[in-house]
Amino acid sequence: MDETIEIRNVIELEHVSKDYGDFKLDDVSFTVPEGSVCGFIGQNGAGKTTTINLILDVIRRDSGEVRVFGENVDENSAGLREDIGVVFDEMGFHEFMTGKDINIMMKNIYKNWDEEAFFGYLKQFALPAKKKCGAFSRGMRMKLQIAVALSHHAKLLVMDEPTSGLDPIVRNEMVNIFRDFVVEEDHTILLSSHITGDLEKLADEVVFIDGGRIVLAGNKDEMLEKHGILKCKKAEVEKISKSLIVSAEVGSFGAEVMVNDRKAAQKLYPDMVIEPAALEQIMIFYVNKRQSRREVRS
């Protein structure tokens, strides 16, 4: 008899909204399965940071439900933080603090703080324990935040643009750190980034937000397999089924059309070239779709 393995969702958002007047997070729903790396993508201002702040209970939602480890965040946010490691774009420590100072502070914040693990990570990441973190490079500051996040035995890492502004060598090193973290099955990552190349290497799941709304959510490989770039002559765009078109970039002589079902497009248009799409291309074409609709309405 086959045993059904139930997949547990570590993060669950159901119909979540937050209205700031000039920007609205609108009816956002998605899940992050346990043991996965979920890439949270979108252009700057799309709503990624607002969503993360709602998950962490930093701000309150106007409507909807947010659950982490199966619990509503506003009912047990203090308890949930013990199992959540957070890494933001900006370092959250005073610049005069050293690694030793941070260790003393964290002992009084986290019940599960592991001093030995923390200094072990500092050594692994080549971070001097006695040097003021204000003198650290951007890459060193991000590694320091990761060291802190890992040293209270977090099961979930929530990161907002952790690789932004870093050189490719440091970014690759950090991707490897994240990969090591999720080797353990109960470890999960929600990684917000607009650097889609890093997520193509690392992510299992992808959630794409644009203009405060979820555009796509699901398995990364399936998303990449499904979409494609169809290249054709300018005059041939009208021949392509509108149900397949996400949006098109039309030049003086040729056109590139993002299709949402590559296999169907290949059957319908065997004489046209259809190439695989990267995450960055998918993001750009869907953003262009929303912007073109807005221009038509205005």
Distance CA 132, CA 80 (A): 30
Position 5 scores a pLDDT of: 55
If asked whether residues 132 and 255 sit together in one domain, one would say no
Three-point CA angle 249, 204, 211, nearest 5°: 45
If asked whether residues 178 and 284 sit together in one domain, one would say no
For residue 47, being part of any structural domain is answered with: yes
If asked whether residues 83 and 177 sit together in one domain, one would say yes
Distance CA 149, CA 182 (A): 14
Last residue of a domain, one of 166, 194, 223: 223
If asked whether residues 99 and 170 sit together in one domain, one would say yes
Distance separating the N- and C-terminal Cα atoms of the chain: 60
Q: What is the pLDDT of residues 40-77, one digit of tens each?
A: 999 888 999 999 999 999 999 999 999 999 999 988 77
If asked whether residues 171 and 240 sit together in one domain, one would say no
Q: What is the pLDDT of residues 87-112, one digit of tens each?
A: 887 777 889 999 999 999 999 989 99
| φ, ψ (nearest 5 deg) of residue 122 | -60, -40
For residue 79, being part of any structural domain is answered with: yes
For residue 115, being part of any structural domain is answered with: yes
If asked whether residues 231 and 270 sit together in one domain, one would say yes
Three-point CA angle 48, 221, 6, nearest 5°: 85
For residue 55, being part of any structural domain is answered with: yes
* pLDDT value at 160 more than 60: yes
If asked whether residues 91 and 180 sit together in one domain, one would say yes
Three-point CA angle 19, 22, 26, nearest 5°: 40
Paired tokens of 76: 């047990």
Distance CA 163, CA 88 (A): 10
For residue 254, being part of any structural domain is answered with: yes
The percent of residues above 90 in pLDDT, for the chain, comes to: 66
SS3 63: strand
Structure-model confidence comparison of residues 257 and 1, the more confident one: 257
Confidence of residue 296 (pLDDT cuts 50, 70, 90): very low
State the chain's mean pLDDT as an integer: 90
If asked whether residues 183 and 279 sit together in one domain, one would say no
For residue 122, being part of any structural domain is answered with: yes
Instruction: Give yes or no for a contact between 188 and 35, defined as CB atoms under 8 angstroms apart.
Output: yes
* Parallel/antiparallel/unpaired status of strands 205-210 and 37-41: parallel
For residue 125, being part of any structural domain is answered with: yes
If asked whether residues 275 and 289 sit together in one domain, one would say yes
Highest mean pLDDT among 5-9, 40-44, 141-145, 240-244: 240-244
Paired tokens of 69: 């480890």
Q: What is the pLDDT of residues 250-274, one digit of tens each?
A: 988 899 999 999 999 999 999 999 9
Last residue of a domain, one of 166, 188, 223: 223
Count CB neighbours of 243 within 10 A: 9
For residue 1, being part of any structural domain is answered with: no
Position 225 scores a pLDDT of: 96
Last residue of a domain, one of 223, 258, 287: 223
If asked whether residues 41 and 107 sit together in one domain, one would say yes
Three-point CA angle 236, 240, 246, nearest 5°: 115
* pLDDT value at 292 more than 50: yes
If asked whether residues 173 and 260 sit together in one domain, one would say no
If asked whether residues 27 and 87 sit together in one domain, one would say yes
Give the domain extent around 50: 9-223
Q: What is the CATH number of the domain that holds 160?
A: 3.40.50.300
Position 1 scores a pLDDT of: 45
Total number of domains constituting the chain: 2
The percent of residues above 70 in pLDDT, for the chain, comes to: 95
